Amino acid sequence: MTVVQALIALSLLTIITRMGPLLASNWLRSQPWIKDLSAQLPAMILVLLLIHQLEGYYLTLSHKSISATVAIIATLVIQHWRRQLVVSIGAGILFFFVIEQFFL
């Protein structure tokens, strides 16, 4: 296979993988497992990001682990109280930075 053929093959595969979900969007919207996945996926992604971020804090037991723990608890409490994701994430970030700047 020449370089040109390889580039053409990769281009076609890229087009198919990018256009496939768009062409099948009506069929995908009617599938119940897609609806379940779309309801749970944002929370799953946030949990994975949280675990990845905290792994470094708690393995080294730095002072940032205290700030992160307080910010996580504040985020969870505000999310449970207000049920608005942007408000709770913003409050968690604010808690983290305030604790880092003024208390630790």
Question: Hey, where are the domains in the chain?
Answer: 1-30, 31-102
pLDDT score recorded for residue 11: 95
Tokens of 49: 């990001």
Note down pLDDT in tens along the chain; length 104 residues.
Answer: 799 999 999 999 999 999 988 888 888 888 899 888 888 888 888 888 888 877 777 777 777 778 888 888 898 899 889 888 889 889 989 988 998 888 87
Amino acid occupying residue 59 = L
For the record, the structure tokens of 78 come out as 């505000």
Task: Count H helices and E strands in the chain, helices first.
Answer: 5, 0
- Find tokens 């990845």 and name the residue: 52
